[in-house]
Amino acid sequence: MQTPERTRQQRMEALQRANGIRTQRARLKDMLKVGEIDICQVLSMPPEYVHTAKVFDLIMAVPKFGRVKTTKILERCRVSSSKTVIGLTPRQRRELVEQLKS
């Protein structure tokens, strides 16, 4: 079954929403980088624009968390590197927050 064609207006609205989300995520990553917001807060009560963001990318935005350290934390919590924030189970969310606090 083929998906229905979108009008030019619908495509433009979708593009604007996507660009808005990208801008908000970039701002959030900058805030994480300078320490204005805590990653534990973001993971505990994620804003809507973060729901489809990769957990790996958010943790990587935090100072002192590089690729190796982030990968180890995700492995300890049994979280795939491609997992999105909204896709975390309560157990995974809780374990990640505990790991990131220490």
Return the domain boundaries, the chain.
8-101
Calculate the average pLDDT of the chain: 94
Mean pLDDT computed over 31-52 = 95
8-101: CATH number: 1.10.8.50
Report which of 81, 43, 34, 23 is spatially closest to residue 62, judged by C-alpha positions.
Answer: 34
Cα distance from N-terminal residue to C-terminal residue, the chain: 50
- Distance between CA atoms of residues 56 and 83, nearest Å: 8
- Distance between CA atoms of residues 47 and 89, nearest Å: 16
pLDDT at 2: 76
Q: Which residues of 58-74 are buried (b: 16+ CB within 10 A; e: fewer)?
A: bbbbbeebeeeebeebb
Tell me the whole-structure pTM to 2 decimals.
0.85
